[in-house]
Amino acid sequence: MPDVVGPITRSRMMAGIRSKNTDPEMQLRRALHARGLRFRLHSSNVPGKPDMVFPKFRAAVFVHGCFWHGHDCPLFKMPGTRQEFWSAKIERNRARDRVVQQQLKDAGWRSMTVWECAIRGPARLGIDATVDRVACWLPQHDSTTAEVRAPRKEAA
């Protein structure tokens, strides 16, 4: 299926997509801060520059967009045009995520990935439930990695 907008318009639209301070990230940050949890933003001395770093808990939280990281959820759909480009791009993002997770683990950090679909989308948990899960996970020291995502739909 051809793109509905021209290449110049599409380029301008894609250039406007942020990698930091996205809507889901900002919602999560505001809600965690309102609960009294304090964190550092995009800390360059922690592998992967996590969206939020909780030094007190030695924990890092990433807020991933479902499209950009190829998440298995209703918010991800492979584009119909330039599929080879997008497949390679998304796979590079996934590979980088795996490397960063290992680097964090090797450095003694715990990490959590909060997927965009947990905060918005048809099967979302909602911001309150998402914040509850993050807040409950932070003080635990037994889980190295965790994720918060929208519930998977049962097969009919």
The CATH number of whichever domain residue 24 belongs to comes to 3.40.960.10
In this structure, are residues 139 and 88 in contact, taking their beta carbons and an 8 Å threshold?
Answer: no
- β-bridge mates for residue 145, sequence order: 111
- Rounded to whole angstroms, the Cα distance separating 146 from 111 reads 7
pLDDT the model gives residue 35: 96
pLDDT the model gives residue 156: 46
On whether residue 156 sits in a domain, the answer given is: no
Q: Which domain holds residue 73?
A: 18-148
- Rounded to whole angstroms, the Cα distance separating 31 from 22 reads 14
* Number of compact structural domains in the chain: 1
On whether residue 1 sits in a domain, the answer given is: no
- Rounded to whole angstroms, the Cα distance separating 31 from 155 reads 33
On whether residue 141 sits in a domain, the answer given is: yes
pLDDT the model gives residue 79: 86
- β-bridge mates for residue 113, sequence order: 62, 147
What is the Cα 104 distance to its own chain's centre? 16
Structure tokens at 90: 């998304």
Which residue, 136, 140, 145, is CA-closest to 110? Answer: 145
Which amino acid does the sequence have at 101?
Q
Residue with tokens 């990695």: 145
pLDDT tens track, the chain, 156 positions:
566 767 777 666 665 566 677 889 999 999 999 999 999 999 999 999 999 999 999 999 999 999 999 999 988 999 888 899 999 999 999 999 999 999 999 999 999 999 999 999 888 999 999 999 999 999 988 778 999 999 876 544
In this structure, are residues 116 and 136 in contact, taking their beta carbons and an 8 Å threshold?
Answer: no
- Rounded to whole angstroms, the Cα distance separating 57 from 33 reads 15
In this structure, are residues 66 and 73 in contact, taking their beta carbons and an 8 Å threshold?
Answer: yes
On whether residue 155 sits in a domain, the answer given is: no
On whether residue 142 sits in a domain, the answer given is: yes
Is the four-CA dihedral 120, 122, 127, 132 of positive or negative sign? negative
Q: pTM score, two decimals? A: 0.85
What is the Cα 152 distance to its own chain's centre? 17
